[in-house]
């Protein structure tokens, strides 16, 4: 992005501030901050400081307001503090030019390098994070900079760099051992899968397996070549779509010879629907999951959407960590605190079939449909008996079952943290 484009976006942000729409102004400036050469431009950096002083004031974010005001000086500590604050408030893109400027003032400073890497990481710009670390080989003798290099190389799809540096990544304490195990697990899964899947920058399923140890059953064909790369943005679920993923799960479980006798689910409506429909397809039974349940390791816990579980239900699912888990879907822009071994699809916003929604019918056009009051059993039967419909876009050859089964028999050892990896997708809001 050019600095001239930066000026246009700043003008739009000023108009949003005049309308008292500080969040919209901040979103606009996230893009403006990616202008090439911004870190060396004193006047434009000060413009950002001035605007975020106003944004902080309008939004009642006193720390952001104070630190943006202080950073008008472009002094070292003030730049660090503002960059740190931007990361903390979820605006890592804004931190990058300020921390890049600080690094030019304090070349090779470990704290500044790590904070700039954190900004790139949080912004999903893993290749740039890798490059910053590679530019400072003198820091790689310490565990954490080399770990960050391995992780960001993997998250950028650069297996060669990750493998090279993982060979000399040596932990010396418990927290380092956990991080080291995370990296070695990812590299082991990459070695197991690279002759079965592409592991390129479009291979959402392959990288989900490598980074998270989990099998993704379905990739969206909608907007696949226009920036979505297999993830959904806003989507309305249906019984037939659920049946599609449950059918794939049944085939995967059979291929692994791990068909469960019991499918457990927390007392949440969508999860109960999912578990009961799956039990019908498997010829087993469904059971409610609570803190006192005793599922066997060969059983399966089924969840509709991890986003819909309250903290208590999530805690119960996490408590039964020795039992395999399936989630029909999960939000990739706000990753859940646990990773299921089997995942139906990734979305940003999902409307369940039984939710209130706008539905389109040939006779009436768009209609607001109320939430369904039918029982979980009724919905489970509808899902299990649905005909599997192919997506209108993409066609039957877009997602052959064989692509999924190619990874199905590999070890599924889910990671302790959720990572999106090198396959990017457009996001909204």
Give 3-state DSSP helix, strand, coil % of the chain, rounded to 5.
50, 10, 35
Question: CA gyration radius for the chain?
Answer: 24
Specify the pLDDT at position 364.
Answer: 67
Residue 346 and residue 259: Cα distance in Å, rounded? 24
CATH 1.25.40.10 residue ranges for the chain: 3-190
Count Cβ atoms within 10 A of the Cβ of residue 325 and give its class: 0-12 exposed, 13-18 middle, 19 or more buried: buried
3-class secondary structure, 28: helix
The answer to whether 206 and 197 have CB atoms below 8 angstroms apart is yes
Q: Which residue has the tokens 């940003």?
A: 348
Measured torsion, CA atoms of residues 213, 218, 221, 223, in degrees rounded to the nearest 10: -50
Residue 73 and residue 68: Cα distance in Å, rounded? 10
The answer to whether 301 and 317 have CB atoms below 8 angstroms apart is yes
Residue 330 and residue 347: Cα distance in Å, rounded? 6
Domain at 204-408: CATH code: 3.40.50.2020
Buried-exposed string 254-281: b where 16+ CB fall within 10 A, e elsewhere? eebeeebebbbbbebbbbbbbbbbbbbb
CATH 3.40.50.2020 residue ranges for the chain: 204-408
- Which residues in the chain come in under a pLDDT of 70? 359-361, 364-365, 390-396, 429
Specify the pLDDT at position 172.
Answer: 95
Tokens of 44: 């434009």
Count Cβ atoms within 10 A of the Cβ of residue 32 and give its class: 0-12 exposed, 13-18 middle, 19 or more buried: buried
Q: DSSP string of 139-160?
A: GTTSHHHHHHHHHHHHHTT-HH
Specify the pLDDT at position 357.
Answer: 79
Residues 6+ apart with CB under 8 A from 44: 3, 6, 10, 35, 38
The answer to whether 341 and 325 have CB atoms below 8 angstroms apart is yes
The answer to whether 139 and 111 have CB atoms below 8 angstroms apart is no
Tokens of 365: 């056009």
How many Cα neighbours within 13 Å face the side chain of 346?
27
Look up the pTM and report it: 0.93
What residues pair up with 357 in beta bridges, in sequence order? 369
What residues pair up with 343 in beta bridges, in sequence order? 216, 327
Residue 349 and residue 89: Cα distance in Å, rounded? 22
The answer to whether 428 and 233 have CB atoms below 8 angstroms apart is yes
Domain at 3-190: CATH code: 1.25.40.10
Residue 306 and residue 290: Cα distance in Å, rounded? 16
Specify the pLDDT at position 260.
Answer: 97
């Amino acid at each position: 992005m050019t600095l001239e484009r930066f000026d246009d976006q700043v003008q739009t942000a000023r108009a949003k501030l005049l309308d008292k729409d500080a969040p919209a102004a901040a979103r606009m400036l996230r893009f403006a901050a990616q202008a090439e050469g911004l870190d060396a431009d004193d006047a434009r950096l000060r413009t950002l400081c001035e605007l975020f002083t106003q944004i902080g004031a309008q939004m009642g974010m006193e720390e952001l307001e104070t630190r943006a005001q202080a950073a008008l000086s472009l002094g070292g500590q003030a730049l660090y503090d503002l960059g740190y604050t931007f990361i903390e408030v979820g605006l890592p893109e804004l931190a990058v030019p300020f921390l890049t400027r600080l690094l030019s003032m304090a070349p090779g400073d470990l704290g500044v390098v790590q904070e700039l890497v954190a900004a790139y990481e949080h912004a999903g710009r893993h290749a740039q994070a890798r490059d910053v670390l590679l530019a400072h080989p003198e820091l790689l003798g310490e565990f954490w900079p080399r770990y960050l290099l391995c992780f960001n190389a993997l998250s950028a799809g650069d297996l060669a760099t990750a493998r090279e540096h993982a060979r000399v990544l040596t932990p010396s304490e418990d927290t380092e051992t956990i991080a080291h195990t995370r990296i070695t697990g990812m590299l082991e899964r990459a070695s197991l899968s690279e002759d079965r899947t592409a592991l390129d920058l479009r291979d959402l399923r392959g990288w989900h397996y490598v980074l998270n140890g989990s099998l993704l059953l379905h990739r969206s064909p909608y907007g696949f070549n226009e920036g979505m790369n297999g993830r959904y943005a806003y989507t309305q679920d249906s019984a037939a779509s659920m049946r599609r993923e449950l059918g794939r799960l049944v085939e995967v479980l059979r291929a692994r010879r791990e068909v469960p006798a019991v499918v457990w689910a927390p007392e949440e409506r969508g999860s109960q629907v999912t578990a009961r429909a799956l039990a019908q397809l498997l010829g087993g039974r469904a059971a409610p999951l609570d803190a006192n349940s005793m599922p066997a390791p060969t059983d399966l816990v089924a969840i509709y959407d991890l986003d819909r579980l309250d903290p208590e239900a999530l805690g119960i699912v996490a408590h039964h960590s020795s039992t395999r888990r399936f989630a029909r879907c999960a939000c990739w822009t706000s990753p859940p605190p646990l990773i299921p071994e089997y995942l139906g699809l990734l979305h940003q916003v999902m409307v369940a079939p039984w939710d209130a929604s706008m539905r389109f019918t040939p006779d009436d056009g768009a209609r607001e449909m109320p939430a369904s009051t039918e029982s979980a059993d009724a919905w489970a039967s509808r899902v299990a008996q649905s005909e599997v419909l192919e997506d209108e876009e993409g066609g039957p050859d877009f997602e052959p079952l064989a692509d999924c089964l190619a990874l199905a028999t590999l070890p599924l050892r889910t990671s302790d943290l959720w990572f999106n990896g090198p396959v990017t997708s457009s996001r909204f809001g």
